[in-house]
A and B are shown apart, each in its own frame.
Chain A
Amino acid sequence: DAKTTQPPSMDCAEGRAANLPCNHSTISGNEYVYWYRQIHSQGPQYIIHGLKNNETNEMASLIITEDRKSSTLILPHATLRDTAVYYCIVRPDNAGNNRKLIWGLGTSLAVNP
């Protein structure tokens, strides 16, 4: 499975947009990009996923480049509660392939007042 590269840490001012990059240059055609986040003392929480097109939900937007080698998670108006570790993962579109998710160490996002 393709691996991902993320910056280890980022800062963002409260109320501003947080743009979290992810590099997945070896992604295959059938692999989705998934984003999760982990708030301190909690389990990881699903945010959003996509294959080729940009996606938006109530939590965030996902922008995937045309060549699919990188993506950006956007939190449009970051709040203090968005302080967390954000994981970018690629996952094949096959049942059971959850087992091979490579989580990495993610990006630790600090939202500052």
Chain B
Amino acid sequence: DAGVIQSPRHEVTEMGQEVTLRCKPISGHDYLFWYRQTMMRGLELLIYFNNNVPIDDSGMPEDRFSAKMPNASFSTLKIQPSEPRDSAVYFCASGRFNSPLHFGNGTRLTVT
């Protein structure tokens, strides 16, 4: 089991550019979550999917953020256009019904 795989590990981009973060969940997990972590706000849930369907996106900050899960083994989180306040570590996590979450090692995003 390779665990949850996220790419890239680090992303530096300029304000206004499009950013795409990628996640491969653990095989067999039917829940997928995107979190954002900052020093000020800690871990915040952005959106989660069940069986590839978005269930709750109430944590997505604004329309600049979008997430997709085209199949059970892949998800993306896109920010367009990016802003400096989007700088954070973005985590993807997966899990089964009522089971603990398994997190990836995150993508550290810096928007200059």
Contacts and interface: CB of A to CB of B under 8 A. Distances in A.
A75 to B, nearest CB: 18
A64 B92 CA distance: 30
A36 B97 CA distance: 18
B55 A96 contact: yes
B95 A103 contact: no
B103 A96 contact: no
How many residues of A sit at the interface, in one of the four size bands?
Answer: 20 to 34
Interface of B: 4, 31, 33, 42-43, 45, 48, 50, 55-56, 91, 93, 95, 97-98, 100-106
Given A96-B55, A98-B33, A98-B48, A44 B95 contact: no
A105 interface: yes
A48 to B, nearest CB: 9
Dominant secondary structure at the A interface: loop
A98 B31 contact: yes
Contact of A44 (B31, B43, B97, B98): B43
A2 interface: no
Given A98-B33, A99-B48, A103-B43, A46 B101 contact: yes
Contacts of A103: 42-43
Given A98-B48, A99-B48, A44 B42 contact: no
Contacts of B33: 98-99
Contact of A43 (B4, B42, B45, B97): B4
Contacts of A46: 100-102
B75 to A, nearest CB: 15
A93 B48 CA distance: 17
A37 B59 CA distance: 23
Contacts of A36: 100-101
